[in-house]
Amino acid sequence: MTENVDLTAELKSAVLASGIDMVGVASIELPEVRQGVYVHSQPRTLMSEARAVIITGFCVRYEPKPIQSQPGIPRGLLPPCGSRAFKQMDAHCHRTVGGFLRKKGFRIVDGSQISIKPAVVGAGLGYYGKHSVVVTRDLGSWVMFSCFVTDAPLAVQDCSPYGGTGCPDGCDLCAKACPTAAIAAPYCVEPSRCVTHWLWGNFAPPELRSKQENRLFGCGECLSVCPKNRHVELRRSYPVPIDELDDGPELLPLLRADNEYFKRAIPSFALDAGIEAIRGNAIIALGNIGDPVAVKGLGFTLRHGIPQNRAYSAWALGRIGGRRARRVLQRALKEEDERSVIAEITRELDSASG
């Protein structure tokens, strides 16, 4: 079965008419991409008869309206992109693309397990930026993508998919803006130093936690300074309802909150990280804010929950300081049996006495 140019054009027209901002088709021959020990799936492992990879993209940049912390009411910060709309727009993309192709008699499966960035570049929708995020022509880097694998004979974008960039040779604004120097070299990011990486629940090194400030999810400093993003207009509306939540949720309730509270306070995409990850981010944020009102709540998380969050609680109490915080640390040290947490408590106590 040869590529069907008319089917491809009809699909793209239907997708764009639905309020999705961009769509492209990539080859199923994608490079193997490894993140740590994890290898992304190849399209034919998801569908043996796969013929094409479909990428849809939508702008997620909006004007954030953070609520600033006040004494006694410390607040976190959500990023100015994506987290309030991704789940809903992703579902919209699935309905649109899947509905169109199934009516034509073709199969389609979710492609989120494959290496999406090479697929986006391979579909001709953008290029790799020096910050390792894909840059698109019209919407810069403020784009989130959905990916699909299909047996439809779609016309694949004819381009050189994995080389080339539109970043100026001398531009290093993204590297300079990164709060943790995670952009070690152009196109090379060290995940363990990336704020966004550890806000998904990966361990945040003690020496870098202050760089998180009061963020609860995401960072985006490298995108905010990118010249390719200066022309991108703010998103005013979506074709589907999105999460209408504060960009600055209160932090103290998150220390003891259950699933239902998190669903009311945190956007659905951020919750994909898990409530314990968001709770851990809230703990670090409280340490960075330094309001003594958090000591009681941090005393609770220091003695409950997963070891990583207990370790964060010790660090946060050490940042806040004072007699009350020290007493809480001393009591917890007598009961703690996890070596990593003991090490964090001991370090904070030694630092306070030094």
pLDDT at residue 36 tops 50:
no
Please state the pTM of the whole predicted model: 0.91
pLDDT at residue 106 tops 60:
yes
pLDDT band at 37 (very low <50, low <70, confident <90, very high): very low
In a domain, 66, yes or no: yes
| CB distance 168 to 72 below 8 Å | no
- Count the domains in the chain: 1
Give the separation between CA 165 and CA 123, rounded to whole angstroms: 15
Of 321, 318, 194, 309, the residue nearest 254 (C-alpha) = 309
Query: Which range among 149-163, 193-207, 239-253, 325-339 has the greatest average pLDDT?
Result: 325-339
| CB distance 149 to 109 below 8 Å | yes
In a domain, 251, yes or no: no
In a domain, 55, yes or no: yes
| CB distance 284 to 316 below 8 Å | yes
Give the separation between CA 68 and CA 129, rounded to whole angstroms: 32
Q: What is the pLDDT of residue 237?
A: 87
In a domain, 188, yes or no: yes
pLDDT digits (tens, 9 = 90+) for 281-313: 999 999 999 999 999 999 999 999 899 999 999
Give the separation between CA 212 and CA 204, rounded to whole angstroms: 9
Q: What is the pLDDT of residue 235?
A: 84
pLDDT at residue 116 tops 60:
yes
Give the separation between CA 180 and CA 200, rounded to whole angstroms: 16
Q: What is the pLDDT of residue 313?
A: 98
In a domain, 182, yes or no: yes
pLDDT band at 63 (very low <50, low <70, confident <90, very high): confident
Q: What is the pLDDT of residue 158?
A: 66
As a whole number, mean pLDDT of residues 152-167 equals 74
Sign of the Cα torsion 206, 208, 213, 216 reads negative
In a domain, 99, yes or no: yes
Label residue 113 exposed, middle or buried (CB < 10 Å: 0-12, 13-18, 19+): middle
pLDDT at residue 161 tops 70:
no
pLDDT at residue 2 tops 50:
yes
Residues of the chain with pLDDT > 90, as a percent, come to 70
Which helix H or strand E contains 87, and what residues bound it?
Answer: helix 86-103
Q: What is the pLDDT of residue 164?
A: 59
In a domain, 22, yes or no: yes
Q: Show the domain range for 211.
A: 1-239
Q: What is the pLDDT of residue 90?
A: 94
| CB distance 136 to 126 below 8 Å | yes
Of 204, 350, 180, 189, the residue nearest 285 (C-alpha) = 204
Q: 195 Cβ partners below 8 Å, 6+ apart? A: 179, 180, 182, 211, 212, 215, 219
In a domain, 172, yes or no: yes
